């Protein structure tokens, strides 16, 4: 029996089995021709998202920002950056999306603001010890003249996490903390202004019809009293761009106990906005500690980074799936799954083992695996097309602060942020209008159009067509409605094979030989159709009675 689609009007716990599509706004669709994606572009592509069959979109930061870190340096949370549109366009998008049955999640960035934010500008003009400085983490420097950073903390983007300011009289002054770029000063969550301000920001967007929030650096925010040294060198971000988990054992700035109180306060918003959902970017090593963020009175879900980091290996993926289900069920939370985002190497490249075609085939199979699992799932824009990471780029066009701050030693994250190809031809493959005044903010490589939405829509075997079919089956087949998963022992160590409800089975072949489907199985969706077998690097959803 078919069950209804998650959509506005559906139950408040719509997020429990939602498929949420990540719109990286700068690179999704450019309507005004300035080479940067915008709100009008998203609005024009809503029919695509509706037909793809996603339940919600998560839009990366669209707020006023100097764009030092692609919008994660927010100058005003209550306004839209003119690059992307304005508030009216944002509310228009929310309404249009709802009319298409698509919910809207926005980013909230509570660990830091832009150095252009009025609070930080006021803090710079004020004296040490002032209430304006108390909203940030200003400290006197170490060493005889205060010339050294107050402690040994390092920025995630490289270099010390402290920058010294000049005081009003021109003298060298205090230092402020920034766990990311110097243009992203950390807020002090001990300051009541900060707490009140963020509750106000959440309400501001809820009043405009938003359905949820993705919380940036959700395991950050709170710092240990006294800001003690860490005592060991920060390892930096891994060169292959898979989000590095943070070591958290009594760490002075990750995963502090008090951060949970903040989310308990936020969760109380669901008294008045019962449909709201919070998803945390919790990048920590220990799964059991991640699960603490999704206890019943905290966030609804957290990104599953161990799943992102798992290699294309049946044993490794099996373990992550089991660990996820065990730890999340223990706190009564939904399981969620994700294969990509704007910070990590594209899945088609991670799984490629140097062979681009194999990478694309495996990426599609991995999506069938992910979408076949119980709970919610996130699709990063372009992963439904099997887009690869773009490594080759002229250094002069790269924009990621990781690249710039490492002096080019680390290529950074631009390679997974290339503008989407919508059409097979044209100067920008349909990303910008044909009369655009500027080139795409990151160049599209040769051959990009061959993977475009238009080309793949016309191909019944393309990753896009198969993903669309899978989302339709997932939405309409009763077997995907419940939360059960039971493993099938089919005698192979190279398969992932499990049953969901109503006779549905999922078989993923990570080995080198074809694997037969069980007797009597009727294929629902397959990443590659080869009759009654699942080829190497393939995945099938089947039904048997
Ligand atoms: C995580 C975001 O996903 C990333 O893009 C950003 O650079 C950092 N947080 C800092 O806000």
The token pair that represents 475 in the structure block? 């939405």
Q: From first to last of its 545 residues, what are the pLDDT tens digits of the chain?
A: 233 334 455 688 999 999 999 999 999 999 999 999 999 999 999 999 999 999 999 999 999 999 999 999 999 999 999 999 999 999 999 999 999 999 999 999 999 999 999 999 999 999 999 999 999 999 999 999 999 999 999 998 888 999 999 998 999 999 999 999 999 999 999 999 999 999 999 999 999 999 999 999 999 999 999 999 988 654 444 344 555 667 667 899 999 999 999 999 999 999 999 999 999 999 988 889 999 999 999 999 999 999 999 999 999 999 999 999 999 999 999 999 999 999 999 999 999 999 999 999 999 999 999 999 999 999 999 999 999 999 999 999 999 999 998 888 889 999 999 999 999 999 999 999 999 999 999 999 999 999 999 999 999 999 999 999 999 999 999 999 988 999 999 999 999 999 999 899 999 999 999 999 999 999 999 999 778 999 999 999 999 97
Query: Best substitution site from 343, 380, 401 to test ligand 1's pocket, by max atoms within 8 Å of Cβ?
Result: 343
From 58, 69, 221, 340, the mutation candidate for ligand 1 (largest count of ligand atoms within 8 A of CB) is 69
Active site residues: 216, 281
Please write the tens of the pLDDT for every residue from 101-137: 999 999 999 999 999 999 999 999 999 999 999 999 9
Q: Are 73 and 114 in contact (CB under 8 A)?
A: yes
Question: What's the sign of the alpha-carbon dihedral 328, 329, 331, 335?
Answer: positive
Going by CA atoms, what residue is nearest to atom 6 of ligand 1?
72
Joined tokens for residue 449: 């159009």
Cα–Cα distance measured from residue 34 to residue 83, given in angstroms and rounded to the nearest whole number: 8
User: Could you tell me the distance, in angstroms and rounded to a whole number, from the CA of residue 17 to the centre of ligand 1?
Assistant: 25
**Ligand 1 neighbourhood includes 180 CB (under 6 angstroms):** yes
Short-list 23, 60, 38, 24, CA closest to 432: 38
User: In Å, what is the CA distance from 30 to each residue of 88, 103, 333, 520?
Assistant: 17, 21, 37, 48
**Ligand 1 contact via 69 beta carbon (within 6 Å):** yes
Nearest CA to ligand 1 atom 3: 343
Is 400 a pocket residue for ligand 1 (Cβ < 6 Å)? no
In angstroms, what CA-CA distances link 534 with 11, 507, 510, 521, 529?
36, 8, 10, 12, 8
Task: Tell me which residue has its CA closest to atom 11 in ligand 1.
Answer: 72
Supply the pLDDT for residue 239.
Answer: 40
Residue 72 alpha carbon to ligand 1 centre in Å: 6
Confirm or reject: Cβ of 24 under 6 Å from ligand 1. no
In sequence order, which residues have a C-beta less than 8 Å from that of residue 532 and are 6 or more positions away?
A: 516, 517, 521
CB 59 within 8 A of CB 47: no
Is residue 205 in contact with ligand 1, taking CB distance under 6 Å?
Answer: no
CA of 216 to the centre of ligand 1 (A): 6
Say how many Å lie between the CA of residue 297 and the centre of ligand 1: 25
- CA 336 to centroid of ligand 1, rounded, Å: 20
**Ligand 1 atom having least distance to the Cα of 180:** 10
Residue 480 carries which DSSP code?
G
**What is the chain's alpha carbon radius of gyration, rounded to the nearest angstrom?**
23
Give the Å distances, CA to CA, from 343 to 243, 401, 527.
7, 12, 26
Determine contact, residues 276/214, Cβ cutoff 8 Å: no
Closest residue by Cα to atom 4, ligand 1, is: 343
| d(CA 156, ligand 1 centre) in Å | 10
Give the Cα separation of 124 and 115 in Å (integer).
Answer: 9
**Beta strand pairing status for 495-499 and 486-487?**
antiparallel
**Is the shortest distance between the CB of 157 and ligand 1 below 6 Å?**
no
Ligand 1 pocket member 81 (CB < 6 A): no
Q: Which atom of ligand 1 is nearest to the CA of 69?
A: 7
Q: In 331-487, where does DSSP find H-type helix? A: 347-350, 356-372, 401-405, 453-457, 463-476
From the CA of 265, how far away is ligand 1's center (Å)? Answer: 23
- Cα distances from 390 to residues 27, 80, 111, 265, 412, in angstroms, run 14, 29, 30, 41, 11
* Residues 322 and 359 sit within 8 Å (Cβ to Cβ): no
Q: What is the largest CA-CA distance in the chain?
A: 82
Q: Is 217 in the pocket of ligand 1 (CB under 6 A)?
A: yes
Angle at 364 between CA 35 and CA 473, to 5 degrees: 105
Assigned token pair, 111: 């660990």
Nearest-CA residue for atom 10 of ligand 1: 72
């Amino acid at each position: 029996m078919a069950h209804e689609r998650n959509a506005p009007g559906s139950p408040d716990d719509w997020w429990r089995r939602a498929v949420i599509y990540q719109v990286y706004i700068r690179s999704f669709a450019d309507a005004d021709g300035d080479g940067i994606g915008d709100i009008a572009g998203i609005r024009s592509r809503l029919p695509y998202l509706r037909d793809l069959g996603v339940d919600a979109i998560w839009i990366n930061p669209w707020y006023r920002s100097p764009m030092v870190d692609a919008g994660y340096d927010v100058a005003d949370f209550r306004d839209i950056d003119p690059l992307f549109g304005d508030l009216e366009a944002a509310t228009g998008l929310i309404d249009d999306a709802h009319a298409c049955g698509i919910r809207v999640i926005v980013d909230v960035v509570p660990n830091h603001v832009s150095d252009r934010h009025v609070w930080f500008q006021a803090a710079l003009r004020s004296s040490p010890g002032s209430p304006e400085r108390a909203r940030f983490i200003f400290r006197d420097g170490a060493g005889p003249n205060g010339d050294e950073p107050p402690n040994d903390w390092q920025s995630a983007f490289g270099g010390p996490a402290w920058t010294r300011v000049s005081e009003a009289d021109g003298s060298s002054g205090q230092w402020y903390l920034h766990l990311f770029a110097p243009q992203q000063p950390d807020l002090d969550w001990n300051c009541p202004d900060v707490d009140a301000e963020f509750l106000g920001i959440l309400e501001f967007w809820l009043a405009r019809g938003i359905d949820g929030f993705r919380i940036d650096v959700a395991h950050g925010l709170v710092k240990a009293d006294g800001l003690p040294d860490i005592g060991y060198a920060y390892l930096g971000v891994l060169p292959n761009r898979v989000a590095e988990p943070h070591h958290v054992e009594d760490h002075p700035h990750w995963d502090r106990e008090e951060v949970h109180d903040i989310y308990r306060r936020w969760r109380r918003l669901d008294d008045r906005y019962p449909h709201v959902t919070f998803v945390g970017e919790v990048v920590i090593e220990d799964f059991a500690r991640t699960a603490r963020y999704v206890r019943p009175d905290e966030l609804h879900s957290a990104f599953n980074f161990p799943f992102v980091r798992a290699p294309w290996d049946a044993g490794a993926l099996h373990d992550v799936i089991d660990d996820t289900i065990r730890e999340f069920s223990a706190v009564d939370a939904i399981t969620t799954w994700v294969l990509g985002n704007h910070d990590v190497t594209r899945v088609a490249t991670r799984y490629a083992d140097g062979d681009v075609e194999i990478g694309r085939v495996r990426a599609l199979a991995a999506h069938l695996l992910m979408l076949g699992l119980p709970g919610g799932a996130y699709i990063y824009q372009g992963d439904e097309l099997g887009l690869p990471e773009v490594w080759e780029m002229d250094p002069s066009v790269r924009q990621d602060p990781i690249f710039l701050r490492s002096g080019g030693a680390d290529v950074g994250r631009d390679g997974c942020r290339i503008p989407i190809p919508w059409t097979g031809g044209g100067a920008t493959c349909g990303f910008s209008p044909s009369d655009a005044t500027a080139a795409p903010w990151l160049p599209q490589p040769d051959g990009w159009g061959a993977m475009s939405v238009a080309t793949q829509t016309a191909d019944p075997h393309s990753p896009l067509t198969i993903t669309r079919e899978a989302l339709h089956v997932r939405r309409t087949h009763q077997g995907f409605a419940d939360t059960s998963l039971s493993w099938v022992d089919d005698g192979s160590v190279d398969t992932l094979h499990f049953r969901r409800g109503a006779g549905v089975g999922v078989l993923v072949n990570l080995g080198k030989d074809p694997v037969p489907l069980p007797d009597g199985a009727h294929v629902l969706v397959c990443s590659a159709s080869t009759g009654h077998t699942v080829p190497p690097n393939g995945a099938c959803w089947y039904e048997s009675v």
